[in-house]
A and B are shown apart, each in its own frame.
Chain A
Amino acid sequence: MSPESSVTKLPDYREQSPKVKERFERFHKRPVVLEVKNLGRVFESSNGPVTALEDVNFNIKRREFNCVIGPSGCGKSTLIRILAGLDYPTSGQVLLDGKPVLGPGADRGMVFQGYTLFPWLTVKRNVMFGPMNAGESETESERNARFWIDMVGLSKFENAYPYQLSGGMKQRTAIARALANQPRILLMDEPFGALDAQTRFQMQTSLLEIWRNVEVTILFITHDLEEAVFLSDRILVLDAHPGRVNEMIESPVPRPRNDEQCVHPEFLATKQHIEHLIHPPESRSDTPLRITRMTDPDDTVF
């Protein structure tokens, strides 16, 4: 199946059904939570300056689920670290609810790809970490922690230590821990990147469910196209070297999402469009590999 032939069959990714169109009309009326203005980041390295991000502009609406996607090394992690306040921009600025971001804070929760649970704390204590540090009482934060742990489905493991959890369970805990702080925006840097396909799909479904029921805005980095289309309202596509905004795509896929939608034309069209943006067809090399035959002549496997 060549990409060209499928393109002819698929609708344009910008064609939104009336339902979706109406949803985006409401969507655009929502207030802006996060605003990124002319953001740039230049790293000083031994081989001279490296421009990781250049003139990045976009904004995130309240309760938006936004996915950031782009080729490896385009500055996705740099971007999200700047949003979290863990790194700083060399130009431009980030505004959260109109106020500039100057450092890390509890109003921006973050879930990392590597499991960053505190190994010396149980699941419950991990979730209580933020609220307790903010001065919440032990009983209060314990009750809240139970609530969040229950939401991510880990009630049976609340007293387990991180080493006793699987990768998916660790990431569920990390999500609960970030949500317990009730952040304005939840930043996620390839959170499901290390999980197997099955677990990853379960996690995506749970995350959507949580997002639907909790007052939270999500900015989600991924390099998985299907994941991006499946999860998001809008998809921010970045270019590499230097990292720039290529396009902010409004997903035509209706909500609520389910796994059947993965084969719907609008889903495939969006996915294919992003594919083209990230790996332009002209850049693909189609010359076959030159491999010398090293098996016996009659030892054929196809």
Chain B
Amino acid sequence: MSKKRHTRPWIEVGREISSSRAGILTAISFALPLAIWSLVSYTPFIWHPDIRLELPASRADSTSVYVTGDHVGKDFFAEFQDAIRAENEAIERGETKSSRRSNTRQIRQVASLAIRQGWLNADQERDTEAIFYIWQDLATGERVSTRPVLSEENLYLVQKNWTLLSAAGSEYSRESIPSTPLYKLVPQGRPANPDYLPEPLAVLKAGINAFTNEIDEGETSMAERTLHSVKIVFSGFLVSCIIGIPLGMLCGSISFFSRLIEPFVDFFRYMPAPTFSTILVAILLANDAPKIAMVVLGTLFQMILIIAKTTRLLDNSLLEAAQTLGASQKQLLFKVIGPGILPNLYNDLRILLGWAWTWLVIAELIGVKSGLTEFIETQGRWRNFDQVYPIIILIGLIGYFTDQFLAWLRRPLFPWLGEPIGPKSRAVISCVAYVPNWFKDAVDRRQPNPPRT
């Protein structure tokens, strides 16, 4: 049974799309970048200009030592492999000198592999005896490495080395380390993207770890950092509002104040707020005060101008009507302009709150670094970009969801606009209405149980 329904095209100029379609598009809007990121990360033949090492690598002719997980360029990697092969050939020809000490270092070649496989504990990196038996197991095939799977070439080298190591017996003793040189494993690795583009899963894992990891005494937990950052942004924004809203409304409604205040504000906002950071520290000293002041400096001046403009946009005929009804100047301000601009003011504040967030990073770098920014800074310096991305995304999510929440709240807040209340808004309203009950219940639960009768 086919029911013929009138369906509108998806793409149409100047017409609002249905809410179910809007929902689908919103989902795609987020899924698309994520899909591109995954595609670039997990498809080996797309980009992947680097090799991520799965075995440590060092060269006789260079002081730099690469450990498992390091990134090197593809060309450099091939050249490196050839150099190691050349070194091994030189050993074969007996041209290389060696000592017990340098051989001890060569024995540790498989330590990281063994740790990754779970054969050794992380603190056994220098446990020569334990590593000695790993060589044995690898050579005899007792243990087979899966991460990485050793190449034919390397398995052959492992056996050769084991022959050298077991020359004095397959029991470990200090003397069992030979003085004849050991062969070097040829570096192995997988194609990888540069470290500044970690994979989605790595980022997700790092993000979860950042919030679930046990932290040492005296360290700041990620939740505390987040709270601190939120506090800086909201305090700064609140201070801006307390000063900016009245000033903006005065400028927008009374020419006297507009001419008195706006020219300077207009000039001041072109001076980059970060340039005042040292001055703010000098005035307000360390801790949070200069940070909050930075957010204020960054948002206040724009706020005054934007709110003044919004105030000016209020239909002048409403002011005239109020005047013919006998409203005084003060009543015009509080009874007409105030409520009249409220919905637009609300939207302005949402945008300005977004701006306040953009000042967060600069604010938290002032004086003593703090909050999420400090974490981003340190991890970024160590090139732990997989740690950095979750925090950046977190800041984005907090900002985005605050704004969405406020957007949903708009309709119930301003019933006189006649905007329909959608299911999302209704959900938010019920959540908000639920909070006081939750508090009440929490308080009730803390009361001692009434005696049973």
A292 within 8 A of B: no
The stretch that binds B, out of A51-59, A67-75, A115-123, is: A115-123
A109, B415: Cβ atoms closer than 8 Å: no
The one of A120, A133, A178 that contacts B327, using a Cβ cutoff of 8 Å: A133
The answer to whether the Cβ of B218 comes within 8 Å of any Cβ in the partner chain is no
Cross-chain contact of B339 among A84, A118, A134 (Cβ < 8 A)? A118
Given A116-B318, A118-B318, A133-B331, A178 contacting B418 (CB threshold 8 A) = no
Residue-wise interface mask of A (116-137) relative to B, using a CB-CB cutoff of 8 A (1 in contact, 0 not): 1011110000000110011000
Please name the residue on chain B nearest to A180 by beta carbon.
Answer: B325
CB pair A163–B325 under 8 Å, yes or no, is no
Of A84, A133, A187, which is within 8 A of B335 by CB?
A: A133
Do B321 and A110 have beta carbons less than 8 Å apart? yes
For the complex, would chain A's binding face be called helix, strand, loop or mixed by DSSP majority? loop
The stretch of A100-108, A143-151, A192-200, A252-260 in contact with B is A100-108
Q: Does B342 contact A (CB under 8 A)?
A: yes
- Interchain pairs with CB closer than 8 A, number: 76
Bin the interface of chain B by size: 20 to 34
Residues A80-122 near B (CB distance < 8 A): 84-86, 103-106, 108-110, 112, 114, 116, 118-121
Binary per-residue interface labels of chain B (400-423) against chain A in the complex, 1 for a CB within 8 Å, 0 otherwise: 000000000000001111100000
Within 8 A of A (CB), among B309-332: 315, 317-318, 320-328, 331
The contact of B418 among A108, A112, A134, A164, by CB within 8 Å, is: A164
Q: Is A66 an interface residue (CB 8 A)?
A: no
B336 close to chain A: CB less than 8 A: yes
Task: Assess whether A108 is in contact with B324, with CB atoms less than 8 Å apart.
Answer: yes
A130–B325 CA distance with the chains assembled, in angstroms: 5
- Least Cβ–Cβ distance between A148 and chain B, in angstroms: 13
In the assembled complex, which residues on chain B have CB atoms less than 8 Å from the CB atom of A270? none
| B416–A106 CB distance below 8 A | no
Whether B417 contacts A163 by the Cβ 8 Å rule is yes
Check A114–B317 contact: CB distance below 8 A: yes
Determine whether the beta carbon of B324 is less than 8 Å from that of A104.
Answer: yes
Inside 8 A of B414's CB, which chain A residues have their CB? 120
Nearest Cβ on chain A to B168's Cβ, whole angstroms: 94
Residue A161 interfacial (CB < 8 Å): yes
When chains A and B are docked, how far (Å) is the Cα of A103 from the Cα of B326?
A: 10
C-alpha gap A134/B331 in the complex (Å): 10
B274 partner residues in chain A, CB cutoff 8 A: none
Is there a chain A Cβ closer than 8 Å to B340's Cβ? yes
Give A177's nearest chain B residue, CB to CB.
Answer: B325
By beta carbon, the residue of chain A nearest B327 is: A133
Q: How far is the CA of A180 from the CA of B19 in the complex (A)?
A: 44
The smallest C-beta distance from A108 to any residue of chain B, in angstroms, reads: 6
Q: What's the tally of chain A residues with a CB closer than 8 Å to chain B?
A: 29
The one of A108, A116, A120 in contact with B416, judged by C-beta atoms closer than 8 angstroms, is A120
* A181:B340 contact, CB within 8 angstroms: no
Q: CA separation between A104 and B319, bound complex, in Å? A: 11
Across the two chains, which residue of chain A brings its CB closest to B320?
A86
Of listed B315, B326, B340, residue having the most chain A CB within 10 A = B326
- Is A162 close to B, CB under 8 A? yes
A31-67 contacts to B (CB < 8 Å) = none
A116 and B415 within 8 A (CB)? no
A150 to B418 alpha-carbon distance, docked (Å): 24
Instruction: Give CA–CA (A161, B414) in the complex, Å.
Output: 11
- In the bound complex, do residue B322 and residue A163 qualify as a contact, i.e. CB atoms below 8 Å apart? no
Task: Tell me, in angstroms, the Cα distance from A105 to B324 when the chains sit together.
Answer: 5
Query: Is the pair B325, A133 in contact by a Cβ cutoff of 8 Å?
Result: yes
Chain A residues within 8 Å of B320, by CB? 84, 86, 104, 110, 112, 116
Task: State which of A106, A110, A118, A134 has its C-beta within 8 Å of the C-beta of B340.
Answer: A118
B235 CB to closest chain A CB (Å) equals: 30
CA distance A129 to B321 in the complex (A): 11
Q: Which residue of A lies closest to B343 (CB)?
A: A120
Give Cα A103–Cα B325 distance, bound, in whole angstroms: 12
| Cβ-defined contact, A161 with B416, below 8 A | yes
The complex places the Cα of A134 from the Cα of B325 at a distance, in Å, of 9
Q: Which residue of A lies closest to B332 (CB)?
A: A133
**Partner of A112 from B321, B326, B328 at Cβ < 8 Å:** B321
Answer whether A120 and B342 are a contact pair too, CB < 8 Å, given A86-B323, A110-B321. Answer: yes
Smallest CB separation, B442 vs chain A (Å): 36
Within 8 Å CB of B416, what residues of A? 119-121, 161-163
With A and B bound together, what is the CA distance between A118 and B336 in angstroms?
Answer: 8
Q: How far is the CB of B314 from chain A (nearest CB, A)?
A: 11
Bound-state CA distance A164–B418 (Å) is 8
* Given A84-B324, A110-B324, A161-B418, residue A129 in contact with residue B317 (CB < 8 A): no
Q: Given the complex, which residues of A lie within 8 Å of B321, measured CB to CB? A: 110, 112, 116, 118
**Interface positions of A (Cβ within 8 A of B):** 84-86, 103-106, 108-110, 112, 114, 116, 118-121, 129-130, 133-134, 161-164, 177-178, 181, 187
Q: Interface on B for A, CB 8 Å cutoff?
A: 315, 317-318, 320-328, 331, 335-336, 339-340, 342, 414-418
Give the 6 A-B residue pairs with the shortest CB-CB distance, closest first: A106-B326, A104-B323, A163-B418, A116-B321, A130-B325, A110-B324
